[in-house]
Homo-oligomer: A and B are copies of this chain.
């Protein structure tokens, strides 16, 4: 959701030789304008608002395609709201998702974790990380009771 990709996903898709259809333009618009994480159904509903003829299967197919190409990430946000999957345009900077298990709020604090962690893992294990997903469940500031706040 950090939307500040200077080049639109559309450009990347074009550059990779994908055909640019009206439906794909619509879908990308929906993803780029999202103010929160959307599951496939929500993406579909928003896309249909812009283009009532767009079909659910197209949403799934395109989302899968972009996922396979590494252009969007699929999240499950600790399954706090059921087994839905959420999609976001692959951010250039790795970030954590903090999911409140009480109210469902999702925060995404920034940080230099990714490069550090990637280097560390590579060094320690020989594994070469390409993508990462990190989600923490817990209580957001607003959902912590006084007692919660005390037991650090």
Contact = CB atoms under 8 A, between A and B. Distances in A.
Interface residues of A, number: 37
B127 A136 contact: yes
Contact of A128 (B83, B127, B131, B138): B138
A98 interface: yes
A121 interface: yes
A140 interface: yes
Contacts of A139: 127-128, 130
A131 B78 contact: yes
A123 to B, nearest CB: 10
Nearest to A123: B152
A65 to B, nearest CB: 14
- How many copies of this protein are present in the complex? 2
B109 A121 contact: yes
Contacts of A141: 125-127
Interface in A90-147: 96, 98, 100-101, 107, 109, 111, 121-122, 124-141, 144
Interface of A: 67, 74, 76, 78-79, 83, 85, 96, 98, 100-101, 107, 109, 111, 121-122, 124-141, 144, 148, 152
28 contacts: A76-B76, A78-B131, A78-B133, A83-B85, A96-B121, A98-B121, A98-B125, A98-B127, A98-B129, A101-B130, A107-B125, A111-B124, A121-B136, A122-B152, A126-B141, A127-B138, A127-B139, A127-B140, A128-B138, A128-B148, A129-B136, A129-B138, A130-B137, A130-B139, A131-B138, A132-B134, A132-B135, A132-B137
